[in-house]
Amino acid sequence: MMESIRSYGLSRLAGIKIDTDELRRRLLMPQYLRLAMLDSITKKDVDGGDQHFPSSGSADVPCPESPMIVFINPRSGGRNGPLLKERLQKLISEEQVLDLEDVKPHEFVRYGLACIEKWANDGDFCAKEIRQNIRIVVAGGDGTVGWVLGCLGELNQNGREPVPPVAIIPLGTGNDLSRSFGWGGSYPFTWKSGIKKALHRASVGPVSNLDSWHVVVQMPGGEVADPPHSLKAAEECSLDKTLEIEGELPDKVNYYEGVFYNYFSIGMDAKVAYGFHHFRNEKPHLAQGPLANKIIYSGYSCSQGWFLTTCTSDPSLRGLKNILKMHVKKVNSTEWEQIPVPKSVRAVVALNLHNYGSGRNPWGNLKPKYLEKRGFVEARSDDGLLEIFGLKEGWHASFVMTELISAKHTAQAASIRMEIRGGEWKEAFMQMDGEPWKQPICNDYSTFVEINRVPFQSVLVNGE
């Protein structure tokens, strides 16, 4: 149990008793606002909860110090997800704990939070205080956290500030985003007071900034089948014109775009993640918790040819050099520079955080002399740079993950352009923050992936 507590990052609170009534008083929103917010979401109408506005005003209604909304992914956390949802609803309220299968994050932003903003602008003092101080908790994996952060990004785009900071209850498999901000790699379900301590820390913890990265996929016709939450079809997204596209463009071009916070990758690691993702959806009863997930994931790594299979035996198992051309903009540079893809590399990862693959640090803690020699700077999650590295066979990846060796350092980049053309390949596998997809490619025309930093940063609560 104590190992689980330390993993969750709440060991400092283990001996502190959190009074339930006091915590609830600090988190619970007034009933009229809770009901108005939920009705607005249900009706998809900012005015949908007007009937709950008190006719006598709300001057005497006590306002919570740390109003909180919890998003929970009940599919995460194995069998414990629904139980955690029930406990959260009892501790706060049913209206403030939103099941992601019923309420999507963008619906909360566009209708629920907008309802509170409307009443705040109309002079409701409690609504104004809540909008100023509200915090979000996400109970789920990295993909779920990224989904919520992406939807909250709409607030920056539309000038609706402040953006609520986000805390995390880690229920996923890797939970690298959670680890990076002090929330640990797993939630201690056996610790009965864990929920109270998590909500307490979420309400008082300091906030930190996090870079986010915008991805544009330009592909020749066709569509991405079953794209993840983080990747949406778009009418048009322009690529950087300072890097000219060689060759002809097809008559029809389709666009997709998305945002990631931890990593983007292309190659064998994404193929393994894609297989695991679909297995988990088809047979959820076999993926009951982080340990079972990791065992299944390891099985897919072996079965997909990353181990014990030579790269020359089949076109689908060859190195990325056969299909990938990569350009980057380096530190303090506005010029594109082509970066060679080593022949042996079968996965390329662009990493924003120190954590990857369940808490590993494949980039490594590099010494100052090496940084200077390579023209690198110390890696940070808010420095506007991505660390790009390569993974070879599964054995190389395994040694990197156990930190016996470092990954194949490629570059640090403020922008990345990848050009993929099929040859004998018919598809490539990509993923962002653990959400994989199968990307169609062809030999006649190239598919382009361009990554640039989003001009505003996300805000997370630090759980340490």
pLDDT tens for each residue of 224-271: 888 888 899 998 888 998 998 887 888 899 999 999 999 999 988 888
CA–CA distance, 390 with 387 (Å, rounded to integer): 10
Residue 138 lies in a domain: yes
Under the banding of pLDDT at 50, 70 and 90, the label for residue 362 is confident
What tokens were used for 52? 């709950």
The residue with greater pLDDT, 99 or 228, is 99
CA–CA distance, 257 with 267 (Å, rounded to integer): 19
Residue 435 lies in a domain: yes
Under the banding of pLDDT at 50, 70 and 90, the label for residue 158 is very high
Q: Long-range contacts for 37-41 (Cβ within 8 Å, ≥24 apart)?
A: 37/95, 37/112, 37/113, 37/115, 37/116, 38/95, 38/112, 40/111, 40/112, 40/114, 40/115, 41/103, 41/107, 41/108, 41/111, 41/112
Query: Strand ranges (DSSP E) for 238-370?
Result: 253-260, 263-267, 324-329, 336-339, 347-351
Judgement on whether residues 170 and 287 belong to the same structural domain of the protein: no
The pLDDT of residue 43 is 96
Judgement on whether residues 262 and 386 belong to the same structural domain of the protein: yes
Contact 456, 156 (CB under 8 A): yes
Q: Is the pTM of this model over 0.85?
A: no
Domain finish residue from 170, 205, 240: 205
pLDDT in tens, 3-49: 444 455 555 555 568 899 999 999 999 999 999 999 999 999 999 99
Burial of 388 (0-12, 13-18, 19+ CB in 10 A): buried
The pLDDT of residue 134 is 97
Judgement on whether residues 195 and 264 belong to the same structural domain of the protein: no
| Window from 68-82, 221-235, 288-302, 311-325 with minimum mean pLDDT | 288-302
**Amino acid at site 451:** I
Residue 463 lies in a domain: no
Under the banding of pLDDT at 50, 70 and 90, the label for residue 311 is very low
Judgement on whether residues 277 and 301 belong to the same structural domain of the protein: yes
CA 293-172-76 angle, 5° bins: 90
Judgement on whether residues 233 and 196 belong to the same structural domain of the protein: no
The per-residue pLDDT of the chain, averaged, comes to 84
Query: Strand ranges (DSSP E) for 42-118?
Result: 68-72, 97-99
Domain finish residue from 138, 173, 205: 205
CA–CA distance, 186 with 202 (Å, rounded to integer): 16
Judgement on whether residues 420 and 325 belong to the same structural domain of the protein: yes
Residue 295 lies in a domain: yes
Judgement on whether residues 188 and 245 belong to the same structural domain of the protein: no
The number of residues in the chain equals 464
Judgement on whether residues 195 and 217 belong to the same structural domain of the protein: no
Judgement on whether residues 228 and 171 belong to the same structural domain of the protein: no
The pLDDT of residue 281 is 58
Judgement on whether residues 201 and 224 belong to the same structural domain of the protein: no
Domain finish residue from 165, 183, 205: 205
Under the banding of pLDDT at 50, 70 and 90, the label for residue 143 is confident
Judgement on whether residues 152 and 201 belong to the same structural domain of the protein: yes
The residue with greater pLDDT, 205 or 229, is 205
Residue 461 lies in a domain: no
Per the rule left: phi > 0, alpha: psi between -120 and 50, beta: everything else, 30 is beta
Residue 35: which domain range? Answer: 20-205
DSSP state of 141: -
Q: Residue 295 above 50 pLDDT?
A: no
3-state helix, strand, coil in the chain (%, to 5): 35, 25, 45
Cβ atoms within 10 A of the Cβ of 377, count?
14
Judgement on whether residues 226 and 136 belong to the same structural domain of the protein: no
Closest CA to 263 of 347, 349, 327, 341: 349
Domain count, the chain: 2
